[in-house]
Structure 1
Amino acid sequence: MRRLLFAGLLLLSCPAFAQDPTADYFKLTRKEFDKSNALSTTAFVEQRWRLPGNKGFNESIYYVEGLLKKAGYVPEQKDEAEAPLTYRIEKRPMKANAWDPINASVTIAGETVPLLEFKTNRNMLAIGSVSTPSGGITAEVVYLNAADIGKLNDQDLKGKILFSETSSARLFNVAINAGAIGVLGYAMPAYTKPEIHQTSIQFSGISNRDQKGWAINLSYQAKERLKALLGNRSKEAIEKEPVKLHIDISVNSYPSEELTIVANARGNTKPSERFIYSAHVQEPGANDNATGVGTLAEMARVTAELIKAGKLSPQRTLTFLWGDEIVSTQRYIKENTERAKGIICGMSLDMVGEDTKKTGGSFLIEKMPDPSAIWTRGTDKHSEWGAGNVTEKDLFPHYYNDLVMNICNSQGKYANWTVNYNPFEGGSDHTPFLQNKIPGLLMWHFTDVFYHTDNDRLDKVSAETMQNVGISALTTAYTLVNADEKTALWTLNEVKIAALKRLKTEFELSKAVIASGKPADEEKKIISTWGKYYTEALATTSKIPVKAETTRVGSAIKVAVLEIEKQTNLYLEALK
């Protein structure tokens, strides 16, 4: 056993092949990134209720366009080869109407102070709701246990409002078909701590093709008030004098176009190869995702300034994309297969500016699928978002995970910024990259008690966090778009070190499992899967240089792979 551990420690102590190539890029990005710019853009965007095609979404896109113009990006006339810095706004007719919430209130009949108001609870209106008649409508409210929703009949709800402690989406069509004019739903996840943050409401939508009614999402506070009002009266009293609510809703719905804005800093040597960032515009929150929009806008400005000053000369193209989550990124990849072949890596910026002291979250790098997404143990853990259904065939061996974690950790040490990571889960703009066999990962925060709620406002945003994320994201891309042989050798060594650390960690965990009396077969499978994952990840470093200079990288990969295979076999032998 001593010989085994010594072998691991010896390998870990091997000197680096090459000097850290990120150091010079850190100097540039740390000096140039202006957190006040990122915060200013975030402040503009977060004021707007953003859905594809609506006023708030489009105003955000055009605001970013103004920033790009000011930074030196010029509009494309035909294609992105026209200038070093270009941008375009892509416009596509929408199949469904855009939806804009204008105003809403819920008031208990006989009272003057509203139970809920749009100006303080801007997620109270379910997406897809229609306006009430001018001046609002007053109707009886009926409470129903969620378990009894399927027992409605045509006479139960005619002209009434249904209230239940379940999602408005689940309630809506059942209630409308039973004659209700609208619904009040309550569904807040436990991680939002609704008993503490009693005014929070998460946004949601309804399927309202017939444009017949509306749905109101309730806060914990409003839900409890209504329950108390209905529960404190007898059935006979309610029948004699029903509890009524005055509902006043104003929305706009209209044909529109979906907008996506794409900016490019063109590569000088291999412009068809590119690193691409994606930040979605839709969703009404500050952290989700006005911070992604603001951070990426400042990253685009920094890149332009460095290129114009002659301090950065990208050999591959950098692409910045703002649009509709997943949809715009997927389209960018799918609509041009030749362009997609040149994407070396993708990065999603989603919820990247949190003040974690207020949100309770942590900055996370969501990794591409590695074995921790299958066997999640030790210090690895999934977020409350939840684990994806990852199998061995879904694993994506690549240097990218460890490179980004290394760069973020360097910035973390520099700025006293806490960096964590989570196994792959999916659900944001990194997913389309992975679905198309392109390396892609997510920078985000979770758990966030204000996630998707109308309490996700600017006061929960940290300009310093956006700066740390922006610096790390830019340094990653600059390193890869200008990578040479030394970059590949340095990355190879860093990945090898990460592999040895991971194998040692998994070995210790497996030893403990076997010592508890469980069979060794599954533990050996875990170790061998990690070993295979990392030998394949090491091989991908051959694609890092912009141009192949010598055979040194290939030779170094062979040596590193042999080291990992040897260490894996030593651990497997020890588990017998």
Structure 2
Amino acid sequence: MKRLVFIVLTVLAFNAAAQSQKEQYFKLTRAGFNEKNAFATTAFVEQFFRLPGNKGFDASIYRVEEILKKAGYVVQNKDEFEAPLTYRIEKRKMKNDAWEPVDASISIVGEKLPLQSFKTNRNMIPINCVSTPAEGVTAEVVFINKASKEDLAGKDLKGKIVFGDIPTQSLVSFAAKAGAIGALGFSLPDFNQPTKHTTSIQFNPMQRNVGIWALFLSYSSKEKLKDACLKGKVELKVNITTKTYPAEELTIVANVRGSIKPQERFVYSAHVQEPGANDNASGVGTLAEMARLTAQLVKGGKLKPQRSLTFLWGDEITSTRRYIVEDSTRAKGILWGMSLDMVGEDTEKTGGTFLLEKMPDPSAIWTRGEDKHSEWGAGEVKEKDLFPHYFNDFVFDICKEQGKFAKWMVKFNPFEGGSDHTPFLKNNIPGLLMWHFTDVFYHTDNDRIDKVSAKTMKNVGVSALTAAYTLITADENTASATVTQVKEDALARLKIEFELSKKAIAEGKSAKDEKHIVEVWGKWYVDALATIGKLAVDPKTTRVGSGIKVATLAVEKQTQEYLEQLGK
């Protein structure tokens, strides 16, 4: 009895110490994160249509460099551990020239105002589109309906512009073969609400070197042009100016050296390319302020990282994947990865909510109850793809704490993929995504700075930093508290899944299948608990292993009880 009381009191003491450490990091980040800085950087970056190698992308990288230098990061000369705070800009020759949009307009001949212009619709020019002659082109429009695309085979399109109520990319190759000089089309997913936000255009590429130009139309422009075409012959005046030039692809990497295990690290990634404010100028701005604050705390002695912390800005997925795979020694030390993508939403304007996209757990296979996929859509996840780890619950619980403190809505979604968290996962490194969805302005030219919330960026930054600071300074207390936390989360999840399966069986679904879901959840959490053993920096700790065994038994016992009840 005395031994049991001692163990309980010891665990409570460890948990209290770990909680005190986390609360200290919350206090530091809440006081130190300057949302005005994050917003100002976001506003600078969102001015540009950013693609690797182009001037807007490079200007964004160099603005981050200015922030790092001012914060105290020094240029890396030999290796990233030569000073407590270092940074480097990696430059790589690109296979293709950089592309940059400059200007465009479409006018119906005979009307004073343009149908559509680049000044208000900077996504109207497909990536890789060529310029028209400097004086522009004037040509007749040939309108097609969705159902009559095949009927164009017998029509004379030479020297004309093809216009359809279908995606522009679907028209381009056909129009080029038929001798047309250009193509105009329309396509927006329903979640962009095109009939409500009638001026929105999503950015997209077109095939290189197809021999014609192409433009995207907004819903309002498409409807107006369609009405004109249905009334009779229509001619358009089109001007397009784009630039291409040889360039280098830039990636900027900042590093905060750990004092005990510098080779082990937490890596943040925010992609620079894409032309939006929330997507992803907000990620660039938030991460830049996170790096600035980290330097301030390190220099002031308030943060003493035992593992390293890395900040990376570059080309989405490409830069992160390269950072991982190009140096196998470095990759072995990456213990956690986090992507900041679309983290500045003013949700009253954009819709949606903050989401933490989880690593593959069983909800990615059996999505039910409170679990919901976003409009992005589910990925192909099978049982062999599951990634049991404490990181899911550890970070989400921190986000929930900040949400409660700041009255900030926090939710999660099952794994879907598609951002900078995926390279981590593909290389067997725990990786999470902080983002917002559904956003009615996603990928459109209405994703501008007025849709960004500085307050949201602070909430994201505080949560992301508190999670990383806690992990890179983790000790036995942190590990023990995490065991307790994950066990509680496991038991809560098992109860939810049990109730869902119980209801499903009552409605006639297979008891065998429903029991299997609960069984997989139990195993996932047992395996997740096992990953906590490596959390403490000091490898000589012993109490953590004992705590994991006790927690594992509790999860296994509860799982078995639920399975027996479902089998009755």
Same structural fold, with TM-score higher than 0.5 when normalized by the shorter chain:
yes
User: Match for 2:447 among 439, 456, 469?
Assistant: 456
User: Match for 2:393 among 398, 402, 421?
Assistant: 402
Alignment size in residue pairs? 555
1:101–1:252 contact (8 Å) kept in structure 2: yes
5+ long unaligned stretches in structure 1 = 1-10
Deviations 1:280-321 (A, max 9, x none): 000000000000000000000000000111111111110000
1:291–1:351 contact (8 Å) kept in structure 2: yes
Task: Tell me the distance in 1 between the aligned counterparts of 2:420 and 2:518.
Answer: 31
Task: Tell me the distance in 1 between the aligned counterparts of 2:477 and 2:151.
Answer: 69
Aligned position for 2:352: 361
* 1:109 maps to amino acid: V
Q: Which secondary structure state, in structure 1, belongs to the residue aligned with residue 15 of structure 2?
A: coil
* 1:331 maps to amino acid: R
Task: Tell me the distance in 1 between the aligned counterparts of 2:14 and 2:379.
Answer: 36
Q: Which secondary structure state, in structure 1, belongs to the residue aligned with residue 474 of structure 2?
A: coil
Task: Tell me the distance in 1 between the aligned counterparts of 2:70 and 2:14.
Answer: 42
- Alpha-carbon distance change, 447 to 132 in structure 1, aligned in 2, over 3 angstroms: same
2:269–2:320 contact (8 Å) kept in structure 1: yes
Aligned position for 1:6: none
1:403–1:491 contact (8 Å) kept in structure 2: yes
Aligned position for 2:471: 480
Aligned position for 2:15: 18
Shift of 1:393: 0.5
Task: Tell me the distance in 1 between the aligned counterparts of 2:272 and 2:537.
Answer: 32
User: Match for 1:373 among 356, 360, 364?
Assistant: 364
Shift of 1:16: 8.2
2:14–2:478 contact (8 Å) kept in structure 1: no
Q: Is 1:534 aligned to 2:525, yes or no?
A: yes
1:383–1:446 contact (8 Å) kept in structure 2: yes
Aligned position for 2:302: 311
* 2:483 maps to amino acid: L
Q: Is 1:415 aligned to 2:412, yes or no?
A: no
Task: Tell me the distance in 1 between the aligned counterparts of 2:309 and 2:509.
Answer: 50
Task: Tell me the distance in 1 between the aligned counterparts of 2:13 and 2:43.
Answer: 43
* 1:71 maps to amino acid: A
* Deviation beyond 4 Å, 4+ runs, structure 1: 14-17
Task: Tell me the distance in 1 between the aligned counterparts of 2:15 and 2:97.
Answer: 56
* 1:117 maps to amino acid: S
Aligned position for 2:415: 424
* 1:177 maps to amino acid: K
Shift of 1:551: 1.0
Equivalence map 1:157-172=2 (5 Å):
157-172=157-172
Q: Is 1:140 aligned to 2:137, yes or no?
A: no
* 1:563 maps to amino acid: A
Q: Which secondary structure state, in structure 1, belongs to the residue aligned with residue 479 of structure 2?
A: helix
* 2:480 maps to amino acid: L
Shift of 1:75: 0.6
1:16–1:490 contact (8 Å) kept in structure 2: no
Equivalence map 1:186-265=2 (5 Å):
186-210=186-210, 212-231=211-230, 233=231, 238=232, 242-265=233-256
Shift of 1:78: 1.8
- Alpha-carbon distance change, 303 to 158 in structure 1, aligned in 2, over 3 angstroms: same
Q: Which secondary structure state, in structure 2, belongs to the residue aligned with residue 575 of structure 1?
A: helix
Aligned position for 2:3: none
1:105–1:118 contact (8 Å) kept in structure 2: yes
**Range that drifts further, 526-535 or 201-210:** 201-210
**TM-score with structure 1 setting the length:** 0.95
Q: Which secondary structure state, in structure 1, belongs to the residue aligned with residue 52 of structure 2?
A: coil
Q: Which secondary structure state, in structure 2, belongs to the residue aligned with residue 420 of structure 1?
A: strand
Aligned position for 1:97: 97
Task: Tell me the distance in 1 between the aligned counterparts of 2:66 and 2:149.
Answer: 50
Deviations 1:89-134 (A, max 9, x none): 0000111111110000000011121010101001010111111001
Deviations 1:5-29 (A, max 9, x none): xxxxxx9xx9685121311111111
* 1:61 maps to amino acid: I
Deviations 1:325-347 (A, max 9, x none): 00000000010011000001000
Task: Tell me the distance in 1 between the aligned counterparts of 2:13 and 2:410.
Answer: 23
Task: Tell me the distance in 2 between the aligned counterparts of 1:288 and 1:388.
Answer: 21
Task: Tell me the distance in 1 between the aligned counterparts of 2:12 and 2:372.
Answer: 31
5+ long unaligned stretches in structure 2 = 1-7
Task: Tell me the distance in 1 between the aligned counterparts of 2:555 and 2:147.
Answer: 55
Aligned position for 1:38: 38
Aligned position for 1:497: 488
Q: Which secondary structure state, in structure 2, belongs to the residue aligned with residue 80 of structure 1?
A: coil
Task: Tell me the distance in 1 between the aligned counterparts of 2:87 and 2:538.
Answer: 27
Aligned position for 1:178: 178
Kindly report the root-mean-square deviation, in angstroms, between the aligned alpha carbons of the 2 structures. Answer: 1.3
Deviations 1:140-175 (A, max 9, x none): 111112344345448531111111122222221121
Deviations 1:352-400 (A, max 9, x none): 0000000011000000000000000001100000000100001000000
Task: Tell me the distance in 2 between the aligned counterparts of 1:116 and 1:130.
Answer: 18
Task: Tell me the distance in 1 between the aligned counterparts of 2:184 and 2:153.
Answer: 18
Q: Share of identical aligned residues, percent? A: 65
Shift of 1:268: 0.9
Task: Tell me the distance in 2 between the aligned counterparts of 1:206 and 1:39.
Answer: 32
Task: Tell me the distance in 2 between the aligned counterparts of 1:148 and 1:266.
Answer: 63
Aligned position for 2:5: none
Shift of 1:185: 1.1
Q: Which secondary structure state, in structure 2, belongs to the residue aligned with residue 187 of structure 1?
A: coil
Q: Which secondary structure state, in structure 1, belongs to the residue aligned with residue 337 of structure 2?
A: strand
* 1:265 maps to amino acid: V
Q: Is 1:469 aligned to 2:468, yes or no?
A: no
Aligned position for 2:71: 71
Shift of 1:548: 2.0
Shift of 1:176: 1.0
Shift of 1:518: 1.9
Aligned position for 1:4: none
Deviations 1:36-87 (A, max 9, x none): 0000000000011100000100000001001100000011112112211000
2:35–2:454 contact (8 Å) kept in structure 1: yes
Q: Which secondary structure state, in structure 2, belongs to the residue aligned with residue 317 of structure 1?
A: strand
* 1:520 maps to amino acid: A
- Alpha-carbon distance change, 557 to 253 in structure 1, aligned in 2, over 3 angstroms: same
Task: Tell me the distance in 2 between the aligned counterparts of 1:449 and 1:160.
Answer: 34
1:132–1:248 contact (8 Å) kept in structure 2: yes
Task: Tell me the distance in 1 between the aligned counterparts of 2:253 and 2:209.
Answer: 32
Equivalence map 1:51-66=2 (5 Å):
51-66=51-66
Q: Which secondary structure state, in structure 2, belongs to the residue aligned with residue 199 of structure 1?
A: coil
Q: Is 1:565 aligned to 2:556, yes or no?
A: yes
